[in-house]
A = this chain, B = another copy of it.
Amino acid sequence: MGLLMIPGPVQLHERIIKAMCRQMIGHRGKEFSKIFEYCIDGLKELFGTKHEVYIISGSGTSGMEAAIASFSNVKRIACVDNGKFGDRLCRIASKYTEVDEIRFEWGKSIELERIEESFENGSEAIAFVHNETSTGILNPAKEIAKIAKKYDALVIMDGITSVGGDVVKMDEWGIDVAIVGSQKCLGCPPGLAAVAVNERAWDYYNEKAPFYLDLKAYKKKVPDLQTPYTPAVPLFYALEEALKIIEEEGLENRIKRHRTLSKAIRVWATEAGLELFPQLNEYSSYSNTVTAIKMPENVTDKELRGTLQSEYGITISGGQEHLKGKIFRIGTMGNIGKAEVVTTLAAVEDVLMRKNAIKSALHAAIEVLKEL
């Protein structure tokens, strides 16, 4: 019996597993269209938009590329990189237009002055990651969009790991294009990405977008409540059920749960004598869907994550790229609750205490979890 506590794919709710356990239906028939419509409507709520949402059969990265490739008819785009996924945005965008890479050391916060500078120097669009899972930082989406508005620039936000788990108000904030992945806060299995697009974004439409990721093809099929290419039907079954669960829980309650679970982990870490990885400034905050913690000096990644896996069957994440072995990350996404967080912290605590790396602080986490 494993427990997945990584920042996606997430542990699935039993109802979502069962939803996939169904015979196929034709993807050009009414039954599929009904599911499709329900999914689109549900996702609009989570994005905070009244505009269109397109669902792509592919990973979150396919959604990032569809968003950037389809709306890259600009002279230059500013791409913010303060983590692995920001870096990925830069690399994708550079395939389609000139990129002004606004780089910060991974784990550091975005300085808004640098963004303003990029617009002053001619950037006509910006792409950034809302919730950077590689470092555990929540970037200041609203503030970035506000600056972009002054320069009438297009705003593309990777909300892959925030939509459905944290506050996202696309229309209110002035985000033109936003992306979500199925296997994160929505609580689904991986394999679907959705891109929300307002009308203004179409002024930036790039007809050289890749065939499969050209959102105009998806837009054309919306009146038929279909996708242009064969959709991953079982994952739509799962998404439908996941959105029902979200509706039942209520988005506000869901966000509160995500916030409380991650707060419990942060409080635990600090009390235990560990250090959180993000370096915040006044605009940024800790992620509410994943917590990144510095690895104690005398503990290796294998000792912590390997032991957790072999003894407890619990999977947490390590650091990516140059952060390998330097941090560990615990996801609090989707439909998990108190029990999963307590189990995980108890297990991590056990392993780290054996190495005399921390003191016990489980009580502090449990205290926070009483808020739920």
Q: Determine, out of A225-233, A262-270, A281-289, the stretch whose residues face the partner at the interface.
A: A225-233
Contacts of A208 in B (CB 8 A): 95
Main secondary structure of the interface of A (DSSP, over half): loop
Size category of the A interface is 35 or more
Interface presence of A91 (CB below 8 A): yes
**Chain B residue contacts of A181, Cβ below 8 A:** 230
- Is the CB of A6 closer than 8 A to any CB of chain B? yes
Q: Which residue on B lies nearest to A21, using beta carbons?
A: B21
1/0 contact trace for A20-36 toward B, CB 8 Å?
11111111010000000
A118 on the interface (CB 8 Å rule)?
Answer: no
The answer to whether the Cβ of A202 comes within 8 Å of any Cβ in the partner chain is no
Q: Does A251 contact B (CB under 8 A)?
A: no
Query: A182's closest neighbor in chain B, by CB?
Result: B232
CB of A229 within 8 A of CB of B60, answer yes
In-complex Cβ contact of A62 among B18, B26, B69, B212 (8 A) = B212
- Judge if A107 is at the interface, Cβ distance under 8 Å: no
Bound CA span A21–B208, Å: 39
Question: Which residues on the B side are within 8 Å of A231 (C-beta)?
Answer: 59, 190-191
Q: What is the CA–CA distance of A29 and B305 in the complex, to the nearest angstrom? A: 11
Distance (whole angstroms) from the CB of A340 to the closest CB of chain B = 13
Q: Is A210 among interface residues, defined by CB-CB distance under 8 A?
A: yes
Which of A8-16, A76-84, A361-369 participates in binding chain B? A8-16
Scoring A residues 230 to 245 as 1 if CB is less than 8 Å from chain B, else 0, what string do you get?
A: 1111110010000000
Provide the A327-369 mask, 1 if CB < 8 A to any CB of B, else 0.
0000000000000000000000000000000000000000000
Q: Which residues of chain A in 298-327 are interfacial with respect to chain B, using CB atoms and an 8 Å cutoff? A: 309, 315
* Residue in B closest to A29 when the chains form the complex, CB atoms: B315
Indicate whether A159 reaches chain B with its CB closer than 8 angstroms. no
Instruction: Tell me the bound Cα distance from A12 to B12 in angstroms.
Output: 22
Shortest CB–CB separation between residue A191 and chain B, in angstroms? 3
Q: How far is the CA of A252 from the CA of B231 in the complex (A)?
A: 30
Nearest B-chain residue to A316, judged by Cβ: B26
B20 and A229: CB pair below 8 A? no
Does A115 reach chain B (CB closer than 8 Å)? no
CB of A250 within 8 Å of the partner chain: no
Tell me if A23 and B2 are in contact (CB < 8 A).
yes
B12 with A229: CB separation less than 8 A: no
Contact B8 A25 (CB under 8 A): no
> Within 8 Å of chain B (Cβ to Cβ): is A40?
no
A86 to B: closest C-beta gap in Å: 14
Closest to A88 in B: B211
Cross-chain pairs A/B with CB under 8 angstroms, 30 sampled: A4-B23, A4-B25, A11-B23, A17-B23, A20-B20, A24-B183, A24-B189, A27-B190, A29-B315, A57-B57, A57-B191, A58-B58, A58-B212, A60-B229, A60-B230, A61-B212, A61-B229, A62-B212, A65-B210, A65-B212, A88-B211, A189-B232, A189-B234, A190-B233, A191-B232, A210-B213, A212-B213, A232-B232, A234-B235, A234-B238
